[in-house]
Copies of this chain bind each other. A is one copy, B any other.
Amino acid sequence: MTTGVRRRMGVEERRQQLIGVALDLFSHRSPDEVSIDEIASAAGISRPLVYHYFPGKLSLYEAALKRAAQDLAARFEEPQEGPLGARLLRVMDRFFDFVDEHGPGFSALMRGGPAVGSSATNALIDSVRQAAYVQILAHLGVRAASPRLDLVVRSWISLAESTALIWLDGRRIPRAELEVQLVHDFAALAAVSAAYDEEMARLLRRILVDEPADGPFSDLIARLAALAPA
């Protein structure tokens, strides 16, 4: 049976199948809880055959992670049309889909640790952050970010990561609420920066002009105004 399956699949096809099987297993549990035996069994092949394609669990883990990273980076792509708040909200929805699909693996990876922390995995995480960063600057219509805009964008990306991790730990707040909240957090962090920096203020005014009266940004401003002491 094993040999039969082996004959039917080409080398690259088999590698891709193994990566898919491994990604599924690594997504649902912490990587150190997943064994090569389990991956072999889920792929319907023998343990030695897994080693024929990947020298060890780490290389299979890194290949699975690479596929996940490409998948996530692709979800950041969003047409540059319509108000910015609505665009960001759609991206957040796809981001939380990803986090939901890969929950335990995402937590294990982002919280680091001996089983997952390596130069290769860190480089992959950074490549996804960089993809998010480049997308956001493109949507803001900015080619080279000033130090303050750079800080707002990078620190917001980090905030999105930590919000997702906190959500996964018990799912005590509905994710739809967190998706809207992260859009607002972006506006809030940009506004804090804009309060002290004229360049950020110009950028924020340009964004707000395009926001519809019933969009997430305007909604936030109305709610904040209601909150302010009389």
Contact = CB atoms under 8 A, between A and B. Distances in A.
Interface of A: 111-114, 117-119, 122, 147-148, 150-151, 154-155, 158-159, 161-163, 166, 170, 172-173, 177-178, 180-181, 184-185, 188-189, 191-196, 201, 204-205, 208-209, 220-221, 223-224, 227-229
Secondary structure of the A contact surface, majority rule: helix
Contact of A221 (B113, B162, B178, B228): B228
Contacts of A196: 177, 180-181, 223
A159 B161 CA distance: 10
B118 A122 contact: no
Copies of the polypeptide in the assembly: 2
Nearest to A209: B229
Given A117-B113, A195-B184, A166 B189 contact: no
A223 B195 contact: yes
Given A188-B191, A204-B227, 14 more contacts: A111-B122, A113-B117, A113-B118, A113-B119, A114-B117, A147-B173, A151-B173, A154-B166, A155-B162, A155-B166, A158-B162, A192-B220, A194-B227, A201-B227
